[in-house]
């Protein structure tokens, strides 16, 4: 019986007797991990980065692409400072078995906290898996349907207009600052601990607006509770065809959240090549492509030097944004 068989499989797995990862047949690898690979997640459980990391891990385990398991560990402390320092430390002891899923605090945290002694240029670029998008959201009961009405309402409310976002001096606040500057607003930024919490503040009308990723708001969007006004993307998103881009609205501003995998500094070339190939397979897998499409993700696969160049460009952009905010 196939059902009984599947049940047995699950039983064996559940009891931890059978390891899930079977060794992959096929191309002989020059380098293979010798022990479980630490898969650090630079954000808390349940957030956008965490969800994607667990999807990557699942794809790898489902297909048996790694002879040793990847063990995810969340290190959200200090806007990722804890994770960055951890990776740097691992670079000294065991650079070949530590990789990390990272986001834009990869640029901003070392810039804001030079005391950490973290230079991302020394880290090992593995793969950029996607770029997540941002939109400006309001609650449907506000009656606001486009950016002009938003500007009028936010201007009138002045500093009483609450913009909820994730963390301090991170992505959401950069976008809030952009909106304040571009439209002459004085919105109040209130930080929360994760994108899901932020989305809920808007749905419960404890905030007037947010700049959530699509995956964070799509449930409330589907039920008609929240409305996307405009997207911080070059083109309109398939998911939200009625939301114009800020470019269309005459503001040349585009902003993405990187979803990348980075290795510890000092990783051997063989190990780096192994991980690059592994994540390229993940990127090309049906599961990942389907997820990309469903969440309207941008950003093609980048690796090696191209990824490092991308990081250096982004770091300069974030440096400029942060110094404009007076945060450096």
Partner 1 sequence: MESILLSLSGGLLEAFQPLNLLMIVIGCVVGLFIGAMPGLGSVNGVAILLPITFLVPPNAAIMFLAAIYYGAMYGGAISSITLGIPGASTAVATVFDGRPLAIAGKADQALTAAAIASFVGGTVSVVLFTLFAPPLADFALRFGPPEEFALMVLAFATFIGLGGDDIPKTIFSILIGLVLATIGLDIISGRPRLIFFDISGFMHGINFLVLAIGIYGIGEMLWTLEQTEGNVIVHKVNMSWRAFLTNLGHVKYYIKTTILGSILGYFVGTLPAAGATPASLMSYGLAKTFSKDPESFGKGNVAGVAAPEAANNAASTGSMLPMITLGIPGSPTTAILLGGMIIWGLRPGPLLFTEHPDFVWGLIGSLYVANAFTVLINLAFIPLFVRVLTMPFTVLAPIIFVLCVVGGYAPSQTMHDVWLMLLFGVAGYLLRKLNYPVAPAVLAIVLGPLAEQSFRQSLLGSQGEVWIFFERPISATCIAIAAALVLYPVLRGLRKPAKAQA
Binding site for partner 1 (CB under 8 A): 3-4, 6-7, 9-11, 13-15, 20, 45-46, 50-51, 54-55, 57-58, 61-62, 72-73, 75-79, 81-82, 85-86, 89, 112-113, 115, 159-160, 162, 167-170, 188, 190-193, 196-197, 199-201, 203-207, 215, 218-220, 222-223, 225, 287
Report the Cα–Cα distance between both ends of the chain, in Å, rounded: 64
Of 69 and 244, nearer to partner 1 (C-beta) is 69
Of 55 and 308, nearer to partner 1 (C-beta) is 55
Of 45 and 268, nearer to partner 1 (C-beta) is 45
Q: Work out how close the CB of 89 gets to partner 1 at its nearest, in angstroms, rounded to a whole number.
A: 8
CB 287 within 8 A of CB 55: yes
Maximum separation of any 2 CA atoms in the chain, in Å: 67
Q: Work out how close the CB of 236 gets to partner 1 at its nearest, in angstroms, rounded to a whole number.
A: 21
Of 126 and 322, nearer to partner 1 (C-beta) is 322
Q: Work out how close the CB of 323 gets to partner 1 at its nearest, in angstroms, rounded to a whole number.
A: 16
Q: Work out how close the CB of 306 gets to partner 1 at its nearest, in angstroms, rounded to a whole number.
A: 29
Q: Which residue has the tokens 């990557």?
A: 56
Q: Is the dihedral of CA 99, 103, 104, 109 positive or negative?
A: negative
Q: Work out how close the CB of 16 gets to partner 1 at its nearest, in angstroms, rounded to a whole number.
A: 8
CB 127 within 8 A of CB 303: yes
Of 174 and 307, nearer to partner 1 (C-beta) is 174
Q: Tokens standing for 87?
A: 């990776």
Of 182 and 190, nearer to partner 1 (C-beta) is 190
CB 244 within 8 A of CB 231: yes
Best CA proximity match to 210, nearest among 176, 238, 236, 240: 176
CB 133 within 8 A of CB 298: yes
**Please, which residues have CB within 8 angstroms of residue 295's CB and are 6 or more apart in sequence?**
132, 214, 215, 239
Q: Work out how close the CB of 93 gets to partner 1 at its nearest, in angstroms, rounded to a whole number.
A: 13
């Amino acid at each position: 019986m196939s059902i009984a068989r599947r049940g047995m499989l699950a039983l064996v797995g559940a009891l931890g007797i059978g390891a899930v990862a079977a060794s992959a047949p096929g191309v002989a690898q020059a380098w293979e991990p010798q022990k479980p690979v630490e898969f650090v997640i630079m954000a808390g459980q349940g957030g956008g980065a965490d969800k994607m990391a667990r999807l990557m891990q699942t794809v790898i385990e489902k297909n048996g692409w790694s002879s040793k398991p990847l063990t995810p560990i969340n290190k959200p402390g200090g806007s990722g400072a804890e994770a960055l320092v951890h990776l740097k430390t691992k670079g000294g002891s065991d650079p070949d078995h530590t990789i990390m899923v990272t986001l834009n605090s990869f640029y901003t945290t070392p810039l804001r906290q030079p005391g950490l002694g973290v230079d991302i240029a020394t880290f090992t670029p593995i793969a950029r898996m996607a770029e997540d998008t941002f939109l400006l959201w309001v609650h449907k009961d506000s009656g606001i349907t486009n950016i002009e009405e938003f500007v009028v309402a936010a201007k009138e409310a002045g500093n009483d207009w609450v913009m909820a976002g994730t963390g301090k001096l991170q992505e959401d606040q950069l976008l809030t600052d952009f909106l304040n500057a571009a439209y002459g607003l004085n919105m109040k930024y209130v930080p929360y601990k994760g994108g899901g919490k932020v989305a809920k503040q808007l749905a419960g009308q404890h905030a007037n607006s947010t700049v959530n990723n699509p995956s964070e708001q799509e449930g409330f969007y589907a039920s008609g509770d929240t409305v996307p006004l405009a997207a911080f993307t070059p083109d309109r998103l398939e998911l939200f065809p009625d939301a114009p881009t800020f470019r269309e609205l005459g503001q040349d501003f585009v902003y993405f959240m990187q979803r990348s995998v980075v290795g510890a500094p000092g990783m051997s070339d063989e190990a780096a090549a192994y991980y690059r190939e592994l994540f390229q397979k993940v990127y090309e897998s049906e599961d990942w492509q389907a997820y990309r499409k469903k969440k309207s993700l941008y950003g093609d696969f980048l690796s090696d030097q191209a990824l490092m160049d991308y990081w250096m460009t982004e770091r300069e952009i974030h440096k400029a944004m942060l110094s404009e905010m007076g945060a450096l």
